[in-house]
Amino acid sequence: MKKDGHPEYRLVVFQDISAEESFITRSTAQTKETIKWEDGNEYPLVKVEISSKSHPFFTGKQMFVDTAGRVEKFLKKYGDRR
């Protein structure tokens, strides 16, 4: 395998800026920012706008689209032309 062919796989802190939550995991994401973590070590920081802490699907605040109502409205307007 060629040397320097793969990016560095290391511990990285991801910070959800909308939910003000952070978690640490391994990643190859490149960043210039760093943050001091709970263990006292400094890690690269990647800021994200949405994560499982703020996404409506995971928080239970997801709105469901009424597709049945849309189909009925379409059929009423254009009829069944089979």
Tens of pLDDT, residues 12-54: 999 988 888 899 999 999 999 999 999 999 999 999 888 777 7
pLDDT at residue 50, as a whole number: 81
Q: What is the 3-state secondary structure (H, E, C) of the chain?
A: CCCCCCCCCEEEEEEECCCCEEEEEEECCCCCCEEECCCCCEEEEEEECCCCCCCHHHHCCCCCCCHHHHHHHHHHHHCCCC
Residue with the bigger pLDDT between 15 and 77: it is 15
Predicted local confidence at residue 67, as pLDDT = 62
CA quadruple 41, 46, 49, 50: dihedral positive or negative? negative
Q: pTM for the whole thing?
A: 0.64
